[in-house]
Amino acid sequence: MSQVEVRGFQTEVKELLQLMIHSLYSNPEIFLRELISNASDACDKLRFEAVSDEALYEGEESLRIQVSFDEKARTVTLSDNGIGMNRDEVIENIGTIARSGTRAFIEKLGQDKAKDLSQIGQFGVGFYSAFIVAEEVTLTTRRAGMGAEHGVRWVSRGEGEYSLETVDLPTRGTTIELKLREDQAEFANDWRLRSVIRKYSDHITFPIEMLKAAAPSEDGADTAVVPEWERVNDAKALWTRAKSDISDEEYTEFYKHVGHDWEAPLAWSHNKVEGKTEYTSLLYLPGRAPFDLWDRETKQGVKLYVKRVFIMDDADKLMPRYLRFVRGVIDSADLPLNVSREILQSNRILDTIRQGSVKRVLGMLDSLAKDEAEKYSKFWGVFGQVLKEGVGEDFANREQIAGLLRFATTQSGSDDQKVSLKEVIGRMTEGQEDIYYIIADSYAAALASPHLEIFRKKGIEVLLLWDRIDEWLMSHLSEFDGKKFKSVTRAELALDEEAQSATPETKETEGALVERLKKVLAEQVDDVRLSKRLVDSPACLVTSDEDMSLHLQRLLKDMGQNAPTVKPILEINPQHRLLTRAAAEADDARFEDYARVIFGQAALAEGGQLNNAADFVQRMNRLLVS
Ligand code: ADP
Ligand code: MG
């Protein structure tokens, strides 16, 4: 037998183990759910790999998970005949190296006073939940297809290090023995284990077995009875059952399993599709965002099965990126069992399934929006920004996705995004042809923009946008229900406007003012014009229809990309006191102070920055004190 090697955990794993060991967690039974879920994954993996290499079965094809206990020794043992692990995999997966979710999980617990450890599975660190109940964990494993001499034994008390040893293991798979802490001895009990298994793991598709309670033999001798294993869970793939036979509790429990979530989903849709392509889908909308929602590499999502054999977990093949929050399973009757990732890359059956599933999800969102407004607004709050990506990504469904968007507007009265485009169209004023919007850095900045003044005056509703993705969103959204979208910061506004200035004299003064401003600000602005949109503010900046908006230029610069610097157009409100004063100013130096202060203000109101703040302040102060 080989030597025992002792290794240390990485700092993050140590921290996590400390949390486990010292938690006074009120729901310790979840350790069983996590370990059974791992055992079930291991069986799935074996079945998948064995499709192309039958030898991996080593003559034993019936996959199962067994749970046993020893009350006297205070142990609980879980054993699966799944794929198993080799030495490197043990080190990689449950040893030294912290997995990507470890840090996120520790941080989450740090914030969460309730210390809800049951979230552990979602972060990909479920194995460590063993230490909630165990003072020592012994894992022995051998990878399917390798010789008996390649077994590995891993032992740890969760205190910073573990030992590793090569052992002989004639059977493949993984066995985990938990030496329970004294205060967790209750788990070494038949009734307790069975009820926890039924509660959390009924939907696991492999049999979970426990030993039959040994019936006392008649003559009192207890040697004759060989204990028999019996199945404890239902072990039937939930999605293959008839809808009418499945209770909401069962749907919810299954969601928690496939979604790695601990809360109930918002909604689900279960469908058997028959015809040219046959498949079953069970798709869920979660009520909360996973920790890696914004991580480009996330792998969770919808699981693909072929005739109930798990094939893969890869989200993008079955759902577009903008629906990456959807969880569930799709089980195809038509794909070959030995599909490879390469085949799936371009496969007509899969394309059909994907299109159909996207329709299901959008349909589910439509009916949620229609019938359960409260749930929909919860959905929007969590995933709205992700759904917005769909407007640019999914051309075929753009109109339907646009119908699902929710906005804050000048009439909604708060930064809650809850107004649909349909409502905005329904409230359009007489003669209004377009849907107006403004994009700013924040809700407050959007609401305070001088550009909105004329719209307020005319009672026209304007969409207020400030999410990071909104520039991109609006660049892909040009029409909805036959109405065009128009930015209120664009130069050409199709608002018929009564002439603002009346007499020929005022016209002349205004013309002269415009010319003087143009001369002073030639470097900063492309043009100076009389504004049709200002009511209370002295001036604002607009961009021409072809140019990139000022907001987008700023965003790109913030992200370190070069954006072309486009000179804006300065629009002035000639009736404003500041402008009438400037117009009356004979001294050229003082006029320049006015001009630069007016331009600087307009840039600031826009959320922009001043190129020379000190100069602006000096000029403003000169005007204020004299
Ligand atoms: P997750 O299951 O989310 O990946 P866990 O912490 O529960 O995270 O498990 C970590 C990894 O350890 C698994 O991804 C798997 O590779 C490995 N593992 C755990 N239990 C088993 C098992 N019973 N058989 C084979 N591999 C396992
Ligand atoms: Mg797990």
CB of 95 closer than 8 Å to CB of 9: yes
Q: Which of 194, 268, 192 is nearest to 229 (CA)?
A: 194
Specify the DSSP element, H or E, that contains 529.
Answer: strand 527-530
- Of 441, 461, 487, the position where a domain reaches its end is 487
Pocket lining: 80 vs ligand 1, CB cutoff 6 Å: yes
Residue 422 DSSP class: H
State the sign of the Cα–Cα–Cα–Cα dihedral 165, 170, 175, 177. negative
Residues 16 and 153 in one domain: yes
Query: In CATH, what number is assigned to the domain containing residue 375?
Result: 3.30.230.80
| Residue entry with tokens 């290499």 | 53
Q: In what order do the strands lie in the sheet with 435-439?
A: 408-409, 462-465, 435-439, 483-487, 479-480
Cα-to-centroid distance, 83 and ligand 2 (Å)? 14
On whether residue 154 sits in a domain, the answer given is yes
On whether residue 495 sits in a domain, the answer given is no
**What type of residue is 405?**
L
On whether residue 165 sits in a domain, the answer given is yes
On whether residue 63 sits in a domain, the answer given is yes
Pocket lining: 42 vs ligand 1, CB cutoff 6 Å: yes
Q: Which atom of ligand 1 is nearest to the CA of 80?
A: 23
- Of 169, 199, 231, the position where a domain reaches its end is 231
Pocket lining: 44 vs ligand 1, CB cutoff 6 Å: no
Pocket lining: 154 vs ligand 1, CB cutoff 6 Å: no
Q: In what order do the strands lie in the sheet with 302-306?
A: 267-273, 279-285, 327-332, 302-306, 309-312
Count of structural domains within the chain? 4
Query: In CATH, what number is assigned to the domain containing residue 619?
Result: 1.20.120.790
* pLDDT at 262 (0 to 100): 83
Pocket lining: 574 vs ligand 1, CB cutoff 6 Å: no
| Residue entry with tokens 């052992």 | 167
* pLDDT at 113 (0 to 100): 47
Q: 304 to each of 39, 346, 362, 603, how far by Cα in Å?
A: 18, 15, 20, 52
Cα-to-centroid distance, 356 and ligand 2 (Å)? 30
Pocket lining: 85 vs ligand 1, CB cutoff 6 Å: yes
Residues 327 and 476 in one domain: no
Residue with the smallest CA separation from ligand 1 atom 16 is 93
Pocket lining: 380 vs ligand 1, CB cutoff 6 Å: no
Strand partners, 485: 435
Q: Which residues of the chain carry a pLDDT beneath 70?
A: 1-2, 24, 97-98, 111-115, 214-224, 296, 299-300, 314-315, 491, 493-502
Distance CA 621, CA 617 (A): 6
DSSP of 558-586: HTT-----PPPEEEE-TTSHHHHHHHH--
Q: Coil, strand or helix: which one is 462?
A: strand
Residues 474 and 334 in one domain: no
Distance CA 315, CA 301 (A): 5
Q: In what order do the strands lie in the sheet with 569-572?
A: 527-530, 569-572, 539-542
**What type of residue is 444?**
A
Residues 205 and 246 in one domain: no
- Of 389, 420, 435, the position where a domain reaches its end is 389
Cα-to-centroid distance, 93 and ligand 1 (Å)? 6
Q: Which of 26, 241, 38 is nearest to 114 (CA)?
A: 26
Name the pTM for this structure.
0.80
On whether residue 543 sits in a domain, the answer given is yes
The predicted-structure confidence for 117-149, as pLDDT tens digits, reads as follows 777 777 778 899 899 999 999 999 999 999 999
Q: Which atom of ligand 1 is nearest to the CA of 94?
A: 12
**Tokens read off for 120:** 């552990």
* pLDDT at 491 (0 to 100): 66
**What type of residue is 503?**
T
Q: Which atom of ligand 1 is nearest to the CA of 124?
A: 3
Residues 52 and 198 in one domain: yes
Q: Coil, strand or helix: which one is 518?
A: helix
Q: Which atom of ligand 1 is nearest to the CA of 176?
A: 23
Residues 183 and 266 in one domain: no
Query: In CATH, what number is assigned to the domain containing residue 475?
Result: 3.40.50.11260
Residues 243 and 357 in one domain: yes
Residues 483 and 541 in one domain: no
Distance CA 122, CA 262 (A): 8
Distance CA 125, CA 148 (A): 28
DSSP of 525-560: -SEEEE-SS-SSSSEEEEB-TTSPPHHHHHHHHHTT
Q: 531 to each of 495, 518, 575, how far by Cα in Å?
A: 12, 15, 10
Q: In what order do the strands lie in the sheet with 229-231?
A: 5-8, 161-167, 151-156, 134-142, 173-180, 75-80, 65-70, 208-211, 229-231
Specify the DSSP element, H or E, that contains 524.
Answer: none
Residues 347 and 431 in one domain: no
On whether residue 497 sits in a domain, the answer given is no
Residues 254 and 210 in one domain: no
Q: Which of 13, 66, 44 is nearest to 229 (CA)?
A: 66
Specify the DSSP element, H or E, that contains 5.
Answer: strand 5-8
| Residue entry with tokens 């503010």 | 537
Cα-to-centroid distance, 339 and ligand 1 (Å)? 24
Q: Coil, strand or helix: which one is 116?
A: coil
Query: In CATH, what number is assigned to the domain containing residue 146?
Result: 3.30.565.10
On whether residue 122 sits in a domain, the answer given is yes
Distance CA 33, CA 30 (A): 5
Cα-to-centroid distance, 39 and ligand 2 (Å)? 8
Instruction: Indicate which ligand has the atom closest to the C-alpha of 175.
Output: 1
Cα-to-centroid distance, 343 and ligand 2 (Å)? 28
On whether residue 508 sits in a domain, the answer given is yes
Which domain range does residue 417 map to?
406-487
Residue with the smallest CA separation from ligand 1 atom 23 is 39
Residues 522 and 476 in one domain: no
Residues 461 and 591 in one domain: no
